[in-house]
Amino acid sequence: MATASVAFKSREDHRKQIELEEARKAGLAPAEVDEDGKEINPHIPQYMSSAPWYLNSEKPSLKHQRKWKSDPNYTKSWYDRGAKIYQAEKYRKGACQNCGAMTHTAKACMDRPRKIGAKYTNKNIAPDEKIESFELDYDGKRDRWNGYDPSTYHRVIDLYEAKEDARKKYLKEQQIKKLEEKNNNQEGEDAAASDGDEEEDDLRVDEAKVDESRQMDFAKVEKRVRTTGGGSTGTVRNLRIREDTAKYLLNLDINSAHYDPKTRSMREDPLPDADPNDKFYLGDNQYRNSGQALEFKQMNIHSWEAFDKGQDMHMQAAPSQAELLYKNFKVAKDKLKTQTKDTIMEKYGNASTEDEIPMELLLGQSERQVEYDRAGRIIKGQEVILPKSKYEEDVLANNHTSVWGSWWKDHQWGYRCCQQTIRNSYCTGAAGIEAAEASLDLMKANIARKEACEDIPKQVEEKRMAAWGTDVPEDLELNEEALANALKKEDERKREEKDERKRKYNVKYTNDVTPEEMEAYRMKRVHHEDPMKDFM
């Protein structure tokens, strides 16, 4: 393990440090301790504050992290709202000109603007506010409830309790009024009593209705509805029964059926081993592939296929038409299937209506008895004849002892007996194999000898043509007439270069240069190194 590198002032200090470490290892010197009084492990680098957690087997900790201690400068306290620290009696220099407090200026003053400020009246001087500054830690900066006073929630509780008391008081007054009216009416006591009971029941029903309406607000889901005007808000009620157990709570095992929270779907059965009679949820796949859902899916598929074949129908645009056409299609399909079945039965007959096939033919059994000896030879009875195919089997031709395709080499089939890859060839046996190997070795030896004896080809000097070279060979023969024509063309070209106006629009150039044209170019060109060039 790596050790810390320490800089020493001299070799003597280094030697003393080594002796001290050896004494500590031998137990003759006290061990070195850190700031907390713990023994320092000499095998751990000195730049680490403490040993990693995997070296401390006593208890798990996070001391190996970079900042495992909380900074004492950080705090989670909050401002003391409304606290005052000092009440002055006279205006002080530098204080607020409006209220007289030293903790803010007139621009940031939150008091009512006075007609004449405290600077000029020296009356009603406002006390100084308590100014605090906190250095919050990571959690403190992101705490939404930091500085919240829980005692303020009593106001909400008192408000709800006051509403509940007022409602009970109103219901009690209504009941008292009904009872007084019932006592005043002497006639028809039974009818009055029954009416009173009904009215009391009505009051209870009304109270229940109010509670239900409040509870129904929790089931509302506000969704955006697309409109041409830019969108509006619609209310969609959640129709799920609250008493039902949620599908993702039926089996809390992690390896059970997967639940997708985005689509709220659980395709597999969460309780596959439970009794089917006790289960009310079998997975979304069970409901999609059973009942009317399967029929609806088949109807959709039929509408798609009919639309692809050119029929004008659409499941979403005209569902009644699609359903009617699907019913007609099923009737026609059943009728065609029955007609096809009757045609086949008329032609081939119905084997199910005839006599039953004997069991011997069904199971392949018979009364024939065959006896064998210990070697497997037949003693009594007849051997079972195996059925053969229409192709020839085990037919050996041209003196071969194996069939074609019994040997494979270098992506070629052949005979195993002579290793020949030519079909219908005559078998040569082991001698043919040896001859083939000897010819292969001879061919390899010839190739190696040819590569060894192959000479390096001599480099042929390229002869440049006189038309493209700079030096004219001595044996060059020129045509006098062609040379005269080339000199005329060279003079015309020089005149065209001097006067651009006489240059023709369609200029034709050729890449083929003859020796006469090259000689004319040499004769007409300017020789800069010639001292008599100005007199030419």
Confidence (pLDDT) at 471: 60
**DSSP 8-state symbol, 382:** -
Query: Using CA atoms, how far apart are residues 103 and 94, in angstroms rounded to an integer?
Result: 9
Lowest mean pLDDT among 62-71, 146-155, 399-408: 62-71
Q: Across residues 303-325, what is the average pLDDT? A: 91
Q: How many CB atoms lie within 10 A of CB 456?
A: 5
- Binning pLDDT at 50, 70 and 90, where does residue 534 land? confident
Lowest mean pLDDT among 64-68, 79-83, 130-134: 64-68
Q: Across residues 84-106, what is the average pLDDT? A: 93
Confidence (pLDDT) at 299: 92
**DSSP 8-state symbol, 48:** S
- 190-240 pLDDT tens trace: 655 556 566 665 555 455 444 444 444 444 555 555 555 544 455 555 566
If you search the block for the tokens 């985005």, which residue do you land on? 262
- 241-257 pLDDT tens trace: 677 788 888 888 888 89
431 sits in which H/E element: helix 429-453
- H runs (alpha helix) in 125-188: 138-141, 153-184
Q: Across residues 127-152, what is the average pLDDT? A: 85
- Binning pLDDT at 50, 70 and 90, where does residue 2 land? very low
Q: Which two tokens stand for residue 154?
A: 């009593």
Nearest Cα to 491, choosing from 517, 527, 529?
517
Lowest mean pLDDT among 65-74, 175-184, 289-298, 417-426: 65-74
Secondary structure string (H, E, C) spanning 186-208? CCCHHHHHHHHHHHHHHHHHHHH
Query: Using CA atoms, how far apart are residues 523 and 526, in angstroms rounded to an integer?
Result: 8
Give the residue with greater pLDDT, 287 vs 40. Answer: 287
Query: Degrees (nearest 5) of the Cα angle 264, 268, 271?
Result: 105
Query: Using CA atoms, how far apart are residues 313 and 80, in angstroms rounded to an integer?
Result: 74
Query: Degrees (nearest 5) of the Cα angle 421, 426, 430?
Result: 75
Assign 380 to helix, strand or coil.
strand
Give the residue with greater pLDDT, 354 vs 226. Answer: 354
pLDDT(46) > 80: no
Confidence (pLDDT) at 234: 54
Confidence (pLDDT) at 282: 87
Helix axes 189-217, 153-184, angle to 10 degrees: 160
141 sits in which H/E element: helix 138-141
Confidence (pLDDT) at 130: 92
Query: Using CA atoms, how far apart are residues 379 and 373, in angstroms rounded to an integer?
Result: 6
CB contact set of 248 (below 8 Å; sequence gap of 6+): 259, 261, 266, 270
- 468-497 pLDDT tens trace: 445 666 667 788 888 888 888 888 877 776
**DSSP 8-state symbol, 23:** H
Q: Is the pTM of this model over 0.85?
A: no
pLDDT(129) > 90: yes
- 23-38 pLDDT tens trace: 666 665 555 555 555 5
Give the residue with greater pLDDT, 102 vs 234. Answer: 102
Assign 136 to helix, strand or coil.
strand
Confidence (pLDDT) at 339: 95
CB contact set of 114 (below 8 Å; sequence gap of 6+): 98, 99, 121
- Binning pLDDT at 50, 70 and 90, where does residue 115 land? very high
- 405-416 pLDDT tens trace: 888 988 899 999
Confidence (pLDDT) at 492: 81
Query: Using CA atoms, how far apart are residues 100 and 117, in angstroms rounded to an integer?
Result: 8
* Mean pLDDT (the chain, rounded): 77
DSSP string, 343-374: HHHHHH--GGGSPPPPHHHHHT--S---EE-T
Confidence (pLDDT) at 135: 80
Confidence (pLDDT) at 494: 77
- 418-461 pLDDT tens trace: 989 888 888 988 888 898 889 889 999 999 888 888 765 555 55
pLDDT(463) > 50: no
Lowest mean pLDDT among 66-70, 328-332, 395-399: 66-70
Q: How many CB atoms lie within 10 A of CB 409?
A: 9
- Binning pLDDT at 50, 70 and 90, where does residue 397 land? confident
pLDDT(359) > 80: no
Confidence (pLDDT) at 208: 47
* CA torsion angle 397 403 407 413 (round to 10): 70
- 254-313 pLDDT tens trace: 888 999 989 889 999 999 888 888 888 888 888 888 888 888 999 999 999 999 998 888
Confidence (pLDDT) at 214: 47
Exposure string of 485-518, with b = 16+ CB inside 10 Å and e = fewer, is: ebbeebeeeeeeeeeeeeeeeeeeeeeeeebbbb
Q: Which two tokens stand for residue 353?
A: 């209506």
Confidence (pLDDT) at 156: 93
